[in-house]
Structure 1
Amino acid sequence: MLSLLLRRRSSWVRGVLVCLGVAAVGTVLALALAVDYRSGVYESALAQQVRLSAAAPFLVVPVWGLRRSRVGPRVLAAAGGIAGAVSLGCSAWMRVAADQGEWSAGRADAYTLFEISALIVVLALTVRHGAAWPAAVAAVALCAAVVLRPVAVEMSENSLLVALFCAFGVCAALVGALVARLVAVERRRHTEQVRLEQRLAFARDLHDFVAHHVTGIVVQAQGAQVVAASRPEMTTSALGQIEQAAAEALRALRHMVSGLRTEAALVPAGDVEQLRSLVADFALPGGGRARFLQEGPVASLPAAPMVVVHRVVMESLTNVRKHAPGSRKVSVTLRVHSGTAELDIVNDQADTGADTAGYGLIGLEERVTAEGGTFQAGPADQGQWRVSARIPVSSVWRDLP
C-alpha cells in the first residue's frame, strides 16, 4: 500500500511539473509573439516572409501525439527537420529581399523572437523524443536556423548579440534534451536488467523447489507401482507421501506467484530446522536414506548463506533421486567455522548419470559464486559422488536472491 501511494504521488508530481513546464513555455512564446507584434515586424515589408517562417515551428504539433507509436519518433524528427529547413529558407529569402529593396534601419527588428523561442522548444522535443540519426540531422538544421535568424536581415552589433544569446539558448536546450534522453535510456536499461534478473531468479526457484517436489512425486509413484502387486498395504503410505509432496509443490508455486505480484522474496529462506527436516524426509525407492551432520554454530548462520545452503542441498538430493535411485547412503554435512559455511553432500554412487552442464548445477554454481563462494560437483574417492560448496558468512553482498 505504501509503495502504491508513493508511486501515485510521484506520478502526480510529474504531472504537476509537466503542466508547469508547458505553462512556462507557453508564456515565453506568448511574450515573444507580443514583442514581435509591438515591434511591427509583422507589418513591415518582410511581413510575408516573417509570417511564413513563424508558422514553421507548428509543423511538429500534429505529430506530437504520435511520439509514442512506432513511427512517432521518426515522424517527430522529420517534422523538426522540416521546421528548421523552412526557417532557414525564409531567412535566406529575407536576406535576398533586404538586399534588393530600400529598407529602413528598423528592418533589423526582423529577429522574430517568437520563432526563435518556438524553434528552441522544437529542438528540445526533437532531440529528446526523435529517432537518433534523423534527430541529429534535424538538430543541425534547427541550431543553424536559430543562430542565423538574427543576422538574416543585416549584420549589426545588436544582431550579433542576439545571435550570441540564441547560441546560448540552443546549447542549454541541447544539453537538457540530451541529458533527459540519456536518463531515459539508462532507466530502460536498468528496467530490462531488473526484469532479466527476476526471470532468472524465478527460473532458479522453479527448478530448485518445484522440481524437487515433482521429482519426489514421480519416484514415489514409480515405487508404488512396483510394490502394488506384491505388497498392496504399502500403497496407502506411498499415496500419502505423494499427496504431501504435491501439497509442498503447490505451496512453493503459490509463494513464487505471490512473490511476482509483491516485493516479497520468491521463496522462503528457511532455517536449520527446515534443512534438517528436508534431509530427514528424503527417501529413495531402494530404501536409501539421508543423514544430516552439523559442526559449529550452524544455528547462527545468517539468512543469505542459509538460502544458498538450502538450495544446494535440495538440488543435490533431487539429483540423487533422479540419477542415483539405487544409492544406499547419502550424507549432508554442514560445517561453520572461520567465517565460512562448508557444505558437502556425498552419496555412494559416483556414476549418477547427472549432466555436470545441466541447468541445476549451473544455477547452483552461479548462486554460490554470486555470494563470493566456490562450488564443485563430480566423482570423489571410493566410488562416491560429491557436491561441495564453500560460502563466506560475513562477506556476502546481498541477503536474498
Structure 2
Amino acid sequence: MWESTGPVVKVLDALPSLATAGTLVWAVARPRTAVRQRLGRLAHPTTACAVLSLITSFALPNAGLGSGWKLAEAAVLLLLLAVVTRWSPLRELKPTLPLTALAVTLWPLPLVAGASFLESIGFATFWLLPVAVAVAAGAYPRRQELRRRSAVAEARRDQRLQLSRDLHDFVAHDISGIVVQAQAARFVAATDPSQAVLALERIEKAGLSALAAMDRTVQMLHGPAPATEPLPDVSQLPSLISDFTSAGATEAHLDLPPLVTERLSREAGSAAYRIVVEALTNIRRHAPDASRATVAFTPTATTVEIRVTNDGGARPAPARRRVSRGGLGLPALTEHAQALGGTLSAGPHGDGGWQLTAVLPATLRKESP
C-alpha cells in the first residue's frame, strides 16, 4: 500500500473517476443516431473502470483527494451500471455486474479502516441499495422491450398462421376443383362439347372464388378484412356441397339441421365451414374415386358434432389413397378446434373409407338488436 500523497499518486487515485466520466462522455457525446449503439458497447469499459476503482480504493486509500472524488466516482459507476443493464448484451453483463457492484459497495471501507467488522458490513450493505436501484432502472425497460418484441413476434406468427389457413382452406379447395374440372373437360371435349362448356363455367366460378379468397388474404396484410366481407360459415355449406358434387365423380350429401346455425357462434361457424372444406378437399385429392361423401351435423345440448365420411370407392384402399406426409391442414384445424374448446380427429372408416369427426361447443348466437 502506498503511503505517499504526491502528485503522481493523486493522479492515479483520480484515474478511475476520470475514466468513468470519460466513458460516459464517449457514449453520449456523439451524433444521436450512434448513441444507442455506443451505449450497448459500454460493458467492457465499465468493467475496466470498476477494476480500476477497486485497485485504487485499496491500494491508494490515503492519496489525499478526499471522499468527494470516490463518491462522484461511485455515482458515475451507478449510472454506467444502469446503462449497461439496459443496453449491453447479456453475455457481456456476467463480469460487469458483479465487479461494478463490488466497486460501488466497497469504496467506503478504506475510508473507515478503524471501523468494526459489523460496521463495515453495514456500510457495504447500505451501498447495495443504490446498486439494486441502478440494476432495476436498467432491467425494467429492458424487460418491457423484450415483452414488446415477443408480443410483436407472436402477433406476426398469428397473422402468418391465419394467412396460411386461408390459403390452404379456401384457395387450395378452389384450385383442386379447377384441376378436377379441367381433367373432366379434357375427356369429354371431343365427345360431348356441351359438358365441356359446363366444366369451363365451373372452372370460371372456382377461379373467381379463388381470386376472392386471395384478395381477402392479401388485404389481411394491409389491415383487418372489411365488415362487409365476413368469413364463410355453415349457411354457405349447401352451395359448397352442390359445387363439390358437380365438380367430380363423388356425390356429396349434406345433413344440416336448422338448429345448427343457431347453436354455433360466428367463430365456431367459420371453423365448421373450414373443417368441411378441408375434408372435401382431402377427398378430392386423396380419394377421387369415392362414390359418396356425407357431411352430417348433429347438435346436442352443449356441442355440435360434424362427421364427414366417404366410402372406399372402386379401387383398393392402398392404391387409392395417396396420403401426403407433412400436410398442415388437419393439424392446423385441430389446433383451431381445440382453441375453441372442441376436438377434431380423422382416421379410416368402413371398407377403405375415411372419416373426419369434429366436436365444437354450442352456444346461442347473440344477434344485435
Q: Which category describes the TM-score, using the shorter chain as reference length?
A: 0.7 to 0.9
Name the structure 2 match of 1:90: 56
Offset of residue 81 of structure 1: 0.8
Pairwise CA distance, 1:216: 0.8
- Whichever residue aligns with residue 127 of structure 1, its letter is T
Post-superposition shift, 1:145?
Answer: 1.7
User: Once structures 1 and 2 are overlaid, which stretch shifts more, 263-272 or 274-283?
Assistant: 263-272
Deviates more, 1:354-363 or 1:251-260: 354-363
Please point out which of 335, 342, 351 is paired with 2:298: 335
Deviations 1:336-358 (A, max 9, x none): 22111111112232635152853
In percent, how many aligned pairs have the same letter?
A: 31
- The partner residue of 2:76 within 108, 118, 122 is 118
Give me the whole-angstrom Cα distance separating, in 2, the residues matched to 1:261 and 1:61. 44
Instruction: Decide whether the 8 Å contact of 1:59 with 1:82 is kept in 2.
Output: no
Match of 2:4 in 1: none
In structure 2, the CA distance between the partners of 1:384 and 1:218, relative to structure 1 (3 Å rule), is same
Deviates more, 1:77-86 or 1:191-200: 191-200
1:250 aligns with 2:211: yes
Measured after TM superposition, the shift of residue 190 of structure 1 is 3.6
Of 34, 51, 59, the match for 2:23: 59
1:185 deviates by: 3.2
TM-score relative to the length of structure 1: 0.74
C-alpha displacement at 1:210, in angstroms? 0.9
Separation (CA, whole Å) in 2 of partners of 1:392 and 1:282:
27
Q: CA 1:376–1:394 in structure 2 vs 1: closer, same or farther (change >3 Å)?
A: same
Map of 2:276 onto structure 1: 313
The alpha carbon displacement at 1:156 in A equals 6.5
Corresponding letter in the other structure for 1:261: H
* In structure 2, distance between residues paired with 1:68 and 1:394: 52
Matched to 2:291, the amino acid is R
Q: How many residues align?
A: 342
Residues 192 and 343 of structure 1: CA distance in aligned 2, closer, same or farther (over 3 Å): same
Match of 2:42 in 1: 76
Q: Distance in 2 between matches of 1:179 and 1:343?
A: 49
Look up the equivalent residue of 1:369 and give its one-letter code.
Q
Give the conservation status (yes or no) of the 8 Å contact 2:234–2:272. Answer: no
* 1:279 matched residue in structure 2: 241
> What are the superposed Cα offsets for residues 328-386 of structure 1, whole Å, 9 maximum, x if unpaired?
32221112221111111122326351528533222222222332222222232355432
Quick check: 2:234–2:261 contact (8 Å CA) kept in 1? yes
* Residue 233 of structure 1: how far off its partner (Å): 2.6
- Distance in structure 1 (CA, Å) of the matches to 2:48 and 2:350: 77
* Corresponding position of 2:67: 109
User: Counterpart of 1:373?
Assistant: 342
Aligned mates of 2:215, 2:282 — CA distance in 1: 24
Equivalences for residues 1-400 of structure 1 within 5 A: 48-49=11-12, 51-57=14-20, 58-63=22-27, 73=40, 75-95=41-61, 97-98=62-63, 108-155=66-113, 165-264=126-225, 268-283=230-245, 287-295=249-257, 297-300=259-262, 301-349=264-312, 351=317, 352-355=320-323, 358-381=327-350, 383-394=352-363
Change (3 A) 1:359 1:167: closer
TM-score (norm 2): 0.80
Is the contact between residue 14 and residue 69 of structure 2 (CA under 8 Å) also seen in structure 1? no
Residue type of the partner of 1:136? Answer: K
Q: Distance in 1 between matches of 2:146 and 2:8?
A: 47
Residue 305 to residue 265, structure 1, CA distance change in 2 (3 Å): farther
Which residue pairs with 1:5 in the alignment? Answer: none
Name the SS for the 1:120 alignment partner.
Answer: helix
Shift in Å, 1:93: 4.5
Which runs of no fewer than 5 residues in structure 1 stay unpaired?
1-43, 396-401
Q: 1:354 to 1:345 in 2, by over 3 A?
A: farther
3-state secondary structure, aligned to 1:391: strand
> What amino acid is aligned across from residue 82 of structure 1 in structure 2?
A
